[in-house]
Structure 1
């Protein structure tokens, strides 16, 4: 039998390289594939692992231009602020008109009462002390009668004068409210003109034309309203709460909109804050809701497009409750006061919003 050649040990460097390669391989195999802007581990809307596209880029994440997005932001926000002020003024006017009607009805009753007292005084001789005395059985009866009639008449006269004064004050207040409403309507007209300017900007960018809009296949749920100020306006909010979809921040109103969408059944991948680019994402006032189950892919079709249609319709229906500035979906943009318009973002699925629904919040 021939002798077997001895097994020579590998050099130390070779053994180290082999172990390192094995460790790297195991690490890669143990790491799931997720989007570059994947949700935090405890995020409310989980992203399924797999071959997913990343969130829209940081440099031009919503298509169009920074100037266009700024005009859309200003026009929509101004429109919403003026609409809230007008609604508040109209409510106050209605309350005042109701109160004024009650006072005027009371004024009629008081006027009739005083007229009856005046007629009684005339018939019983209250117009003169001597007549009142002659019609009395005794001096004490005259004094009692004169005092009683005088007190009642003076009291009614005082109430009547006070009521007239209050009515005049209410009428002046009503006129002031009507003037305020005229001013608010004037502001609303100005905002409408600014909205038209934004629409002209859309047209210059190849957008803003006629749009078929979005048809939902289901009835949209009603969202829980975000808090407003006492006058109906939206409180100013900063990027102050943690964004559960990234490591950034969003506004409380944006968080409410996202949570309400989740509660309504829209639980697919979401990405909100992004540090780069223009628009509302860096301000924490916007979120992108993927149409596909796992993340941002190509142009949505079939059930994915239906999902996007339903989600876009949900945001439009609840725009006043959630403080929606605008919604972009499938080459269309919804603006308050003007509805759906065509939107040309740039040709790719992310810029044209054919793979996600963009939500901007006031």
Structure 2
């Protein structure tokens, strides 16, 4: 009786998915996650570290250049306003010098024929003084704003240099991580790839940190909001073949919810892609590369080639000679 009860409880736990782990696919099931091989288990970690910092430096650089452009535009506008104000101040100064300034105004008030004329001249003198004060005050503020803008531009230049230095270092790190590969490759590029809607960023242009909190539409696991966005954008662009994302273990970013495998074949992970399936995979890889900055792409692997934002396309020899680990039957996408 106890054994029967235990069996029943176990069956119920399995049915409700108590352990939260995707069920193992049956042998030969084309929807089973591809075995991407263990020959390069550290490759994903190295590319992750190198490209994450590279992408954040790139975001900082882009945001800094935009701020600098805004400051330059602001300075141009202030310079245009400054010239006539400076000319007016020069006129005011010259007039004050010729007429003796306050002494001349005092005498103008004394030399009046009637109380009404005196009041008119008081109002005129006050109005002139207020106008002069406003002009001089505006000149002083504009000059201070210009100095602040110039200082801010100098700071942006320093920020850009730091970001560029970080990018150079991380590019070298990515190249080193790919040193075991066979060198550079032509890669997959399609100028006609559609544009993706950019994923949300922080106010300063950097990529926000994201956790695996969204239900994965392809498994019982989870993915990050940015990974979901990339997958949805790909499907909106017409790449609607089978795909699979979360895995509780394995290489790359699958266990973190930051990676998906997009099948070249319509219904699952078949053998080496050819014909229209290979064309589909090539176009999808090119789509992710073209929209890398918008989607926060860490790297793309397809048909024995790997692309990173820091190092471009490289030959990929990390597989075991089978379609899954060679990535010849699916496009792998990792996002930051």
Alignment of 1:1-362 (within 5 A): 52=30, 54-57=32-35, 61=36, 64-121=39-96, 126=101, 128-129=103-104, 132-133=107-108, 136=111, 138=113, 141=117, 144-145=120-121, 148-149=124-125, 151-203=127-179, 205-207=180-182, 209-216=183-190, 219-346=192-319, 347-362=321-336
Tell me, in whole angstroms, the C-alpha distance in 2 between the residues paired with 1:139 and 1:108. Answer: 41
- Cα deviation, residue 296, structure 1: 1.2
Tell me, in whole angstroms, the C-alpha distance in 1 between the residues paired with 2:31 and 2:214. Answer: 26
Cα deviation, 1:148-184, whole Å, max 9, x if unaligned, reads 3454245423542343244324423432343233233
RMSD in angstroms over aligned alpha carbons? 2.8
Q: Which residue of 2 aligns with 1:21?
A: none
Q: Which residue of 2 aligns with 1:47?
A: none
Tell me, in whole angstroms, the C-alpha distance in 2 between the residues paired with 1:139 and 1:133. Answer: 13
Kindly tell me: are residues 72 and 62 of structure 1, through their superposed partners in 2, closer, same or farther at Cα, counting changes over 3 Å?
Answer: farther
- Cα deviation, residue 190, structure 1: 2.1
Tell me, in whole angstroms, the C-alpha distance in 1 between the residues paired with 2:310 and 2:124. Answer: 65
Q: Given that residues 224 and 321 in structure 1 are in contact (C-alpha distance below 8 angstroms), is that contact kept between their aligned partners in structure 2?
A: yes
- Cα deviation, residue 124, structure 1: 5.6
Deviates more, 1:309-318 or 1:138-147: 138-147
| Structure 1: unaligned runs, 5 residues or longer | 1-34, 39-49
- Cα deviation, residue 139, structure 1: 6.8
Q: Given that residues 25 and 31 in structure 2 are in contact (C-alpha distance below 8 angstroms), is that contact kept between their aligned partners in structure 1?
A: no
Tell me, in whole angstroms, the C-alpha distance in 1 between the residues paired with 2:236 and 2:106. Answer: 84
Kindly tell me: are residues 134 and 284 of structure 1, through their superposed partners in 2, closer, same or farther at Cα, counting changes over 3 Å?
Answer: closer
Kindly tell me: are residues 131 and 292 of structure 1, through their superposed partners in 2, closer, same or farther at Cα, counting changes over 3 Å?
Answer: closer
Q: Given that residues 100 and 171 in structure 1 are in contact (C-alpha distance below 8 angstroms), is that contact kept between their aligned partners in structure 2?
A: no
Q: Given that residues 325 and 361 in structure 1 are in contact (C-alpha distance below 8 angstroms), is that contact kept between their aligned partners in structure 2?
A: yes
| Structure 2: unaligned runs, 5 residues or longer | 1-22
Count of equivalent residues? 311
- Cα deviation, residue 211, structure 1: 0.4
- Cα deviation, residue 293, structure 1: 2.0
Tell me, in whole angstroms, the C-alpha distance in 1 between the residues paired with 2:330 and 2:105. Answer: 95
Tell me, in whole angstroms, the C-alpha distance in 2 between the residues paired with 1:68 and 1:296. Answer: 22
Deviates more, 1:65-74 or 1:126-135: 126-135
Kindly tell me: are residues 146 and 187 of structure 1, through their superposed partners in 2, closer, same or farther at Cα, counting changes over 3 Å?
Answer: same
Tell me, in whole angstroms, the C-alpha distance in 2 between the residues paired with 1:93 and 1:62. Answer: 46
Deviates more, 1:265-274 or 1:61-70: 61-70
Cα deviation, 1:247-301, whole Å, max 9, x if unaligned, reads 1100111111111111111111101000011320000000000111221122111
**TM superposition score normalised by structure 2:** 0.82
Larger radius of gyration: 1
2:210 partner SS? coil
Kindly tell me: are residues 134 and 162 of structure 1, through their superposed partners in 2, closer, same or farther at Cα, counting changes over 3 Å?
Answer: closer
Q: Given that residues 104 and 167 in structure 1 are in contact (C-alpha distance below 8 angstroms), is that contact kept between their aligned partners in structure 2?
A: no
Cα deviation, 1:117-172, whole Å, max 9, x if unaligned, reads 34445556656349944995537546754663454245423542343244324423
Q: Given that residues 213 and 224 in structure 2 are in contact (C-alpha distance below 8 angstroms), is that contact kept between their aligned partners in structure 1?
A: yes
Q: Given that residues 285 and 331 in structure 2 are in contact (C-alpha distance below 8 angstroms), is that contact kept between their aligned partners in structure 1?
A: yes
Kindly tell me: are residues 145 and 279 of structure 1, through their superposed partners in 2, closer, same or farther at Cα, counting changes over 3 Å?
Answer: same
Q: Which residue of 1 aligns with 2:12?
A: none
